[in-house]
């Protein structure tokens, strides 16, 4: 329909001619209230921002000569973060002579990656960065999935608690 005719129709019906899809061929325009159109598009954008998953990177710092119990504790933190759907940046801090033995840090990072392989995957391989060696582990599950699963698990726990009473 020609633009002139569309504008005439808009004036007659006391509405605005709003171009909805300018990139389409031919461009798409609708007869509507422009204020309402702006409000609805702002609400859609706001809703999209709210539903957007926020990527959080948690960091765990280790030393090459870590005690077995301390390692298990740190591994527990990594497991908790991955279950929550967060990425984990694992940093090995080298001091003094330890800097001449980066293979110790590499082996420790490999061991940690193998221990949490069922929950996450190595997103960036271990790499030396000055006095530190860094590796990033990403979760297999997305943040939203992990949140929904945790919510369902809490509900199931509440049901079990009610059944025992």
Which CATH number covers residue 62?
A: 3.30.110.10
Mean of all residue pLDDT scores within the chain = 87
Same domain, 14 and 64: no
Report yes or no on whether pTM surpasses 0.75: no
Among 87, 88, 83, 86, which residue's Cα sits nearest to residue 153?
Answer: 83
Same domain, 102 and 72: yes
Same domain, 77 and 43: no
Give yes or no for a contact between 122 and 129, defined as CB atoms under 8 angstroms apart.
Answer: no
Same domain, 66 and 124: yes
Mean local confidence (pLDDT), 79-101: 91
pLDDT attached to residue 147: 77
Torsion 137-128-112-81 (CA) sign: negative
Give yes or no for a contact between 105 and 64, defined as CB atoms under 8 angstroms apart.
Answer: yes
Q: How far apart are the first and last CA of the chain?
A: 71
Same domain, 66 and 123: yes
pLDDT attached to residue 54: 72
Q: With bands split at pLDDT 50, 70 and 90, how would you rate the model's confidence at 165?
A: low
Asked if residue 155 belongs to a domain, the reply is no
β-pair partners for 19 = 29
Same domain, 68 and 24: no
pLDDT attached to residue 8: 85
Residues with Cβ < 8 Å from 29, sequence gap 6 or more?
A: 6, 17, 18, 19, 20
Same domain, 104 and 140: yes
Which of 116 and 53 is assigned the larger pLDDT?
A: 116
We report the CATH number of the domain holding residue 17 as: 3.10.20.80
- Number of helices (H), then strands (E), belonging to the chain: the values are 5, 6
Mean local confidence (pLDDT), 120-127: 91
Same domain, 62 and 134: yes
Torsion 146-148-153-158 (CA) sign: positive
Domain extent at residue 101: 57-144
Same domain, 84 and 130: yes
Check pLDDT > 80 for residue 25: yes
Q: What is the pLDDT of residues 38-83, one digit of tens each?
A: 998 999 999 888 877 677 899 999 999 999 999 999 999 999 999 8
- CA distances 104 to 64, 99, 101, Å, are 6, 10, 6
């Amino acid at each position: 329909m020609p633009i002139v005719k569309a504008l005439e129709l808009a004036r007659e019906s006391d509405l605005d001619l709003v171009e909805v899809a300018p990139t389409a061929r031919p461009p798409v325009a609708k007869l509507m209230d422009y204020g309402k159109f702006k409000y609805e598009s702002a609400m859609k954008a706001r809703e999209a921002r709210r539903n957007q998953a926020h990527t959080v990177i948690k960091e765990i710092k280790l030393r090459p000569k870590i005690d077995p119990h301390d390692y298990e504790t740190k591994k527990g933190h990594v497991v908790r973060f991955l279950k929550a759907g967060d990425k984990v940046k694992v940093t090995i801090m080298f001091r003094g002579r330890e800097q001449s033995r980066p293979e110790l840090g590499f082996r420790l990072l490999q061991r940690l990656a193998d221990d949490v392989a069922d929950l996450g995957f190595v997103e960036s391989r271990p790499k030396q960065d000055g006095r530190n060696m860094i590796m990033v582990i990403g979760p297999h599950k997305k943040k939203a999935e992990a949140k929904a699963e945790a919510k369902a698990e809490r509900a199931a726990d509440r049901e079990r608690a009610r059944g025992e009473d």
